[in-house]
Structure formats: structure tokens, C-alpha cells
Amino acid sequence: MGARTLDGRAASAAIKVELAQRVAALAEQGVTPGLGTVLVGDDPASHSYVGGKHKDCAEVGISSIRRELPADVSQEDLEAVIDELNADPACTGYIVQLPLPGHLDTNAILERVDPDKDADGLHPTNLGRLVLNVSDPMASPLPCTPNGIVELLRRHDVDLAGRHVLVVGRGVTVGRPMGLILTRREINATVTLAHTGTKDLDALLAQADVVVAAAGRPHMIGADALKDGVVLLDVGVSRVEDPETGKKRLTGDIDPAAAEKASWISPNPGGVGPMTRAMLLLNVVEAAERHAGAR
Ligand SMILES: Nc1nc2c(c(=O)[nH]1)N[C@@H](CN(C=O)c1ccc(C(=O)N[C@@H](CCC(=O)O)C(=O)O)cc1)CN2
């Protein structure tokens, strides 16, 4: 039997319908959620991701605020834009598209975002609440990709309790928060976090019931080392040249041949990416609901 598909496009479409209803309920209270994006530089992928975020917002009734800055913007000028969004009542949540150019201090920027408007869940206060295991989803936002992975599995009835999840990649947007979310009592998975310093990845892959591949290295997870029935989540996005057409195309961290061992696999594109976008919308709507409740 072949692997079943963890269909992120279908799940995100369903979530958007649910969120549009919540946005309509907010409108009745006179609240319009507004997502701000801060985009620095001209990386085509970042432009495309930000464009997708605003398209999603339009679909569910969230208004859009865009700030685009040149690649050589100074730390001071970027911080001024952050301060402006923190003060703008029309902007109920916002993100700074990552990665930022190397001359900028990313941590200082993330820390300057008002934690109540942090739509990415990457402010130290919100990451700290995750570490402290504040489990009320209305208390603070969760990082979008790991939350999207958990939601994708939940919507396909894939239970993680007692299962061994191997997360490959220790980045702040996926790997590190992923481990914290998966080990929450209500999910109850056992997590191993592997990274570029891991010595024998194949030995860990052989023990894993679930693999979250978020290293950004094309096809690094092949079929050989995997257990039969493994659940595979492919987060990595790399642009590689297609040897037949010579054109650039997107590819993930998981070799398509690995599907032969899997019980479930997320396609890439069409799996985790759309869930990342849906969870961003969720964070924006929840921030607006918190704000409406506090008025
Ligand atoms: N501030 C943030 N920056 C970045 C994040 C993030 O969550 N917050 N994550 C990634 C990029 N990202 C969102 O920003 C993102 C990446 C991919 C997708 C997606 O839907 N991918 C599609 C394919 C896209 C394509 O065809 O080009 C898919 O998987 O189907 C959404 C969001 C780094 N930066």
C-alpha cells in the first residue's frame, strides 16, 4: 500500500473557511484584523511568500499593511518601521519576513515587535511562554510552521502520543519550537532534535516513527534508513535546477523515493507550506479576538 497524502492545500482551505467566519464575527463587534508585513530586500522567494500572505488575508477578510525596504536599510530605519507598526491601531498583528540581510540584527528586530502583535510567535516573550508550557492557545501565538505541522497531522487523524519524532534542523522558525510543541502533554510525543552536528543520522532515522525534515538540504532523507510505516513531513524548500528542462524548480528535504516506506507523507509543495500560511492567519485572527475581548 502506498503512502497517504498529508494534504496541506485542502487543510488550509478548510481552515480559511473557518477563519473567515471568525473574521465576520469580529466585524460585527467593529474589529477588523490587519496583518502587517515588513519585507527587506529583493529576494524573489521572500517577495513571493509575502505576496501569498496578503492574498490569503484578502480571502478571509483581513486587511493588509505592507512595508517594503531596500536591502541596505539600516538597523535604525528598520527599527523605526517596527515602532510605527507597534503604534498603528489598524495593524493588529505583523511579521518581519525572514531571513533578513546579514548586516541586520535579526534577534534585536524580533525582540522589538510588540509581543501582542507578534503574528509569527517568534518574540522572546511568546517563545518563552512556549517553553513555560502556557497551553492556552488564546494566550499567545505559536510559531506558524510547527503549529501547522501539528494541525496537518491532527486533521488527518495521525496521533503522535508515545511516538518517536525525529526533527531534522534546529532553526528558530521550525526545529526548536517544533520540539517544544510536540512534547506538550496534550501531544505527548518523544522528540529527538538532529542537526548538522549530528553524527549518525541514519541510526536516528531507523528509530523514528515520524520525521520532520527542516534542514533545507535537497533530498537529504532517502528511503534506505527509514522504518516501514514512517510518517514524513517535508518542510525544506530548495530551488534546484531541473536536469531535463534546465529550469529552477522547488524541491524538499525528502527524496520522493522515501514514500515507498511511508504510511503518510506531506507533498512539497502542497503540504507544510500552505499550513504555515494558514497558521499565520490563525495567529492574526486570535490576536484580534484577544484585543476585542480586552476592550
Ligand atoms: N517571518 C517569517 N519568515 C519566514 C517564515 C515564517 O514562518 N515567518 N517561513 C519561511 C517562509 N514562508 C513564510 O514566510 C513560507 C514558505 C513556503 C510557503 C509555501 O506555501 N510554500 C508552497 C510552495 C511555494 C512556491 O510555490 O513558491 C508549498 O509548500 O506548497 C509558505 C510560507 C521562511 N521565512
ipTM exceeds 0.90, yes or no: yes
User: Tell me, what's the pLDDT at 193?
Assistant: 98
Which of the following CATH numbers is that of domain 144-269: 3.40.50.920, 3.30.460.80, 3.30.360.10, 3.40.50.720?
3.40.50.720
Task: Quote the strand ranges of the chain, DSSP E.
Answer: 4-5, 34-40, 63-69, 93-96, 164-168, 190-194, 210-213, 230-234, 238-241, 248-251, 262-265
Query: What average pLDDT score do residues 42-54 get?
Result: 97
Question: Any idea where the domains of the chain sit in the sequence?
Answer: 32-123, 144-269
- CATH code for the part of the protein at 32-123: 3.40.50.10860
DSSP annotation of 100: P
The best mutation among 276, 277, 279, 283 to test binding of ligand 1, ranked by most ligand atoms within 8 Å of the C-beta, falls on 276
Residue 268 CB: number of other CB atoms within 10 A?
A: 23
HSE, CB side, 13 Å, CA atoms: give it for residue 189.
24
What is the distance of C-alpha 57 from the center of its chain? 16
Return the residue whose CA atom lies nearest to atom 19 of ligand 1: 273
Return the residue whose CA atom lies nearest to atom 7 of ligand 1: 144
User: Tell me, what's the pLDDT at 250?
Assistant: 87
User: pLDDT tens across 173-218, in order?
Assistant: 999 999 999 999 999 999 999 999 999 999 999 999 999 999 999 9
The CA angle 165-166-172, to the nearest 5 degrees, is 105
Residue 262 to residues 3, 121, 230, 231, Cα–Cα distance (Å): 5, 31, 5, 6
